[in-house]
Amino acid sequence: MSEEKARSQAMRFGDLREIIDLLDAAYDAGIHVFMCTTHDRIGEICAHVRLHPERYSKLEFYPCMPYAHKYANAVTEHGMIDALKRFLPTEGAFSALVRGGVSVATRDVEGMARLLIDAEMKMFSGLRTPVIFLQNVVTDLLLGMGVKDAFRIFSDHVRERYNAEPGFITMNLPHLLDVLEEIGIPNPVVCANINKIGFRMCGGIKLYEEEIASRRFRPVAMSVLASGAISPREAIEYVCRQKEIQSIVFGASSKQHIREIKQHIEEFDSRTKNGVAPVTSMHEASVV
């Protein structure tokens, strides 16, 4: 997506009514899953959905957390410690971390992570969130650093507290699958770029295709249009040909676009009989 296009989209989505109109269009086209970041604006959409339970009786949210720019900007402005303090609901866990020795600190990291997840999930209270995703900047930062336990902590908390499936968004699919297997998260939900031209598919398109065909995980395809480089029809045809793909995430930029993508998915999916579920997202670009 060009910067200009992203800007004009940001302008349009500044208006809550516009977002809800698009959400309604997607919902009425039979797309009942809405993937979104935990940006403050999403809280307003959640409130709207809570107010109209009949209208959205089948609607499910796939939250992607955290909204990383919020944290990155806070770290730049306040430094690591003060930034964390600002996002934690209670002071206790954090002061223990800074005061305490190594053992106290490491024990409390897990508690702090749980508190941060809860803070992000607050806006979805009372709504259905069957899958909760860890956003790619965080997944890939932790993956690269080798903080493997983080995925287990996230996974356990999401299951125990929200009775939801943990999901992971990544730009480094093969690498992540290795690590999730190693730490014992079986058959994970993993959302990654999957597109015909191999755009941002680290390890290469061939390896991705092999992994999708052979490994046990539930792939969710995103960036299928590769920032607009592939035509919708061609893009969806390619993704539907990858037999194991369960869902396709696409940005809901206009009603026309939603209908078009949905139509392509129905057409190609009925040929391959995968049962691919479309998932719409208001800000695919910001999820990515």
Minimum CB distance to another protein, residue 274 (Å): 26
Minimum CB distance to another protein, residue 228 (Å): 7
189-193 vs 218-222, strand pairing mode = parallel
Minimum CB distance to another protein, residue 137 (Å): 6
Residue among 3 and 54 whose Cβ is closer to another protein: 3
Minimum CB distance to another protein, residue 143 (Å): 7
Residue among 156 and 266 whose Cβ is closer to another protein: 156
Residue among 20 and 105 whose Cβ is closer to another protein: 105
Q: Which stretches of the chain bind another protein, using CB under 8 A? A: 1-3, 6-7, 10, 69, 72-73, 75-80, 82, 97-98, 102, 105-106, 109, 137, 140-150, 171-172, 175, 197-200, 202-204, 226-229, 286
Residue among 35 and 49 whose Cβ is closer to another protein: 35
Minimum CB distance to another protein, residue 251 (Å): 15
Residue among 30 and 228 whose Cβ is closer to another protein: 228
| SS3 readout for the chain | CCHHHHHHHHHHHCCHHHHHHHHHHHHHCCCCEEEEECCHHHHHHHHHHHHCCCCCCCCEEEEEECCHHHHHHHHHHHCHHHHHHHHCCCCHHHHHHHHCCHHHHHHHHHHHHHHHHHHHHHHHCCCCCCEEEECHHHHHHHHHHCCCHHHHHHHHHHHHHHCCEEEEEECCHHHHHHHHHHCCCCCCEEEEECCCCCCCCCCCHHHHHHHHHHCCCEEEEECCCHHHCCCHHHHHHHHHHCCCCCEEEEECCCHHHHHHHHHHHHHHHHHHCCCCEEEEECCHHHHC
Minimum CB distance to another protein, residue 135 (Å): 12
Give yes or no for a contact between 135 and 170, defined as CB atoms under 8 angstroms apart.
no
Minimum CB distance to another protein, residue 58 (Å): 31
Residue among 75 and 119 whose Cβ is closer to another protein: 75
Residue among 196 and 264 whose Cβ is closer to another protein: 196
